[in-house]
Amino acid sequence: MKPGDAIPELRVTPDSGATARYAEASGDANPIHTDPDFARRAGLPGVILHGLYSMAQAARASVDAQGGDPRRLKRLAVQFRGMGVPERELTVSGVMREGRDGRLLIDLTVSQAGRRLIRRGEAEVET
């Protein structure tokens, strides 16, 4: 891939159990991600996705765009914005740009129902 190219779009729909599985696999036990009553008391519509789960989708799209070799992803920076919810499709899109030292940068966004969950995502990959 070369500067200006879009990476293949990644689409994934977290099922209703996704936040509980991510909490267990990652050790992040904040109840706003797993306990609907707690989340509602906190003023949220229901449980929300972990930011790092959305970031993991951006990382996956970046690794997949490099032939599935995880060694090629050297850096990933994101800002978390909108709150993601389960059972709605996430879309990861990205465009390649020239980086330093022969590396490429990917400008990434992760969105759900037209709202950005991650903005200013930037991956640095070895080609």
Residues designated catalytic: 28, 33
Between CA 17 and CA 5 the distance in angstroms is: 34
Does 53 participate in binding another protein (rule CB under 8 A)?
yes
Q: How far is the CB of 96 from another protein (least distance, A)?
A: 18
Count the site residues for another protein by CB under 8 A. 43
- Count the residues in the chain: 127
Q: Is 54:90 a contact under the CB 8 Å cutoff?
A: yes
SS3 of 115, please? strand
Chain residues binding another protein by CB under 8 A are 12, 14, 18, 21-22, 24-28, 30-32, 39, 42-44, 51-53, 55-57, 59-60, 63-64, 68-71, 73-83, 124
